Amino acid sequence: MRIFDPHIHMTSRTTDDYEAMHAAGVRALVEPAFWLGQPRTSVGSFTDYFDALVGWERFRAAQFGIAHHCTIALNPKEANDPRCAEVLDVLPRYLAKDGVVAVGEVGFDSMTVEEEKAFVRQLELAVEFELPAMVHTPHRDKEQGTRRTLELVTESGLAPGMVVVDHLNEVTVDQVDDAGCWMGFSIYPDTKMDEHRMVAILQRRGLDRVLVNSAADWGRSDPLKTAKTGAAMLEAGFSADDVDRVLWRNPIEFFGQSGRLLVDPDLTDDAGADADSSPDSSATFEGNSILRGSRD
Amino acid sequence: MTAIQPLADPSVVEAALDEGAHEQWRALEDEVAADPARLGRVFPAAARKTGRGPLPGADGVLLEDAVRVSLVRSAARSLDPEALLAELREVYRYGDSDEKRAVLHALNGADDELDGTDLLLDALRTNDTRLVAAAMGPHSDRLDADAWRQGVLKCLFTGVPVSSVTGLARRADRELAEMVQRYQREREAAGRDVPLDVQVVLDACAASPEQNRQKDS
Ligand SMILES: [Zn+2]
């Protein structure tokens, strides 16, 4: 099972997690820029964080044979703090980097005017940099937040296929589906969304435009939820190819639209769920043959 | 104008690029040659526009590093050392690890007028082995003895081969030998393997002119 976790905050995770993820088949991931739990109070705090996402964390992941990508944005929660709003001016610098595969997480937390302003501005940046957007949906009043999100996406001119709306559940999935956006599901160890409910949603509406992630961070979460969802799919009668589609080819298709992937899309399933597989950099282009570019 | 040595022979780079990538490379070089201030703009996209990975025919060199150093060369042709250094500091400050490493490689091929010591020291404070290795290249001649010895010790700690350290035979001295011996004792006391490079450094210290000069004085 080769796995691409399209949403996981590795900065908050340990090297044990990296080892366990590699053993479970994770070979690539996307770490969205988000809130650290402790509110930031200055732009410098953001730039150091962004530097870590395109620097140290990428290096750390490579030590475990995992290709690390990230998304860059001012998150909705901190968009409400005027001391942080100026970070919007430094985003273009980071949106130009290799391995930055989307603008995100953007969206709503408390549905304020400030949040909407930052959200709209960052959708413009996605259009300008020809990058997909990763949209966070609020934990409170998710349905209303999702509706307003889809209105703003339509107004932005960004193609629906360039947008993933994340943290969906049974109540919000259909409106996102109907809008033609990608649907992100975060599988948590508690009740928000679990792997069996995920399987039921896949059975109902199919595998198209679905991204399954662990959204693991500094809170109670499980970086192996992607693999566990794959196992639950197999148990429910989905084929290995179906699992590969959801856990590998879908994220490659979505984030590949950025032209910035640092992993071989055709990476062979070298080790699968083999616990003995030794981490090396074979998952990435480093140490491998030349990847030709000439995209822009 | 400031001279920067290429990281790899341009014909070797050319051979590694297909036609489209080659055109992109030329276009990036022309853009920077026309306006050196564009360096920071073209640097991030250089790898995805040309290519990345080990460069065939240039041992240990990555294609993306060779391309980025060539862009620094283009900018350097119309900049005096001070202006070039200002550009490189900007590119380094806001670069990802690949961009930072390319700046260090460019410094390694720079002539004597350019002093990027501050960037080397920044790289040596990281634990990114690719940055540490690049920081101990030829430009590390600029580091004072204390910083250079700490750099060598950091290579031993982080597993950067000391073969990538410039001037080991020339600069190794008694003080470095003592530092490395203390490191060796610590490893042995803990029952851990001692990296083979420890002996390489100690041998260099024993044989170096610095060591003998200190004995004489
Ligand atoms: Zn998140």
Domain assignments of chain B as residue spans, ordered by start:
1-115, 143-217
A195 Cα to chain B: minimum distance (Å): 36
pLDDT of residue A280: 40
- CA atoms of B209 and B81, how far apart (whole Å): 32
Candidates A96, A285, A294; nearest CB to B18: A294
Q: Do B100 and A55 touch (CB under 8 A)?
A: yes
Which residues sit opposite A166 in a β-bridge?
A136
Tell me the ipTM for this assembly.
0.89
pLDDT of residue A289: 56
pLDDT of residue A270: 57
Candidates A93, A287, A295; nearest CB to B48: A295
What is the sign of the dihedral through the CA atoms of A218, A43, A165 and A163? negative
In chain A, the residue whose alpha carbon lies closest to the alpha carbon of B91 is: A93
pLDDT of residue B213: 61
A99 Cα to chain B: minimum distance (Å): 10
CATH number attached to the domain at A3-263 = 3.20.20.140
How far does the centroid of ligand 1 lie from the alpha carbon of residue B136, in Å?
38
pLDDT in tens, chain A (296 residues): 999 999 999 999 999 999 999 999 999 999 999 999 999 999 999 999 999 999 999 999 999 999 999 999 999 999 999 999 899 999 999 999 999 999 999 999 999 999 999 999 999 999 999 999 999 998 888 889 999 999 999 999 999 999 999 999 999 999 999 999 999 999 999 877 999 999 999 999 999 999 999 999 999 999 999 999 999 999 999 999 999 999 999 999 999 999 999 998 988 765 444 444 443 433 344 444 556 554 44
> Are A58 and A100 a contacting pair, CB within 8 Å?
no
pLDDT of residue A277: 40
Phi-psi region of B3 (alpha: psi -120 to 50; beta: other; left: phi over 0): beta
Q: Which of A9, A1, A55, A29 is nearest to B126 (CA)?
A: A55
Q: Do B51 and A288 touch (CB under 8 A)?
A: no
Which residues sit opposite B51 in a β-bridge?
A292
- Choose from B43, B55, B96 for mutation: most chain A CBs within 10 A: B96
Q: Tokens 């150091």 belong to which residue?
A: A48
The residues in B 100-159 lying below 8 A from A, measured between CB atoms, are 100, 126-130
Residues of chain A by 3-state class (helix, strand, coil), percent to 5: 45, 15, 40
The residues in B 66-95 lying below 8 A from A, measured between CB atoms, are 94
Model confidence pLDDT, tens digit, residues B25-79: 999 999 999 999 999 999 999 999 999 999 999 999 999 999 999 999 999 999 9
> Are A134 and A76 a contacting pair, CB within 8 Å?
no
Write down the pTM of the prediction: 0.91
- CA atoms of A144 and A111, how far apart (whole Å): 9
pLDDT of residue A52: 97
> Are B74 and B80 a contacting pair, CB within 8 Å?
no
Domain assignments of chain A as residue spans, ordered by start:
3-263
pLDDT of residue A269: 61
- Regions of chain B where pLDDT drops below 70: 210-217
Candidates A97, A99, A295; nearest CB to B49: A295
In chain B, the residue whose alpha carbon lies closest to the alpha carbon of A290 is: B53
- CA atoms of B143 and A127, how far apart (whole Å): 45
How far does the centroid of ligand 1 lie from the alpha carbon of residue A104, in Å?
9
pLDDT of residue A140: 84
Query: Taking CB atoms and an 8 Å cut-off, how many pairs form between chains A and B?
Result: 78
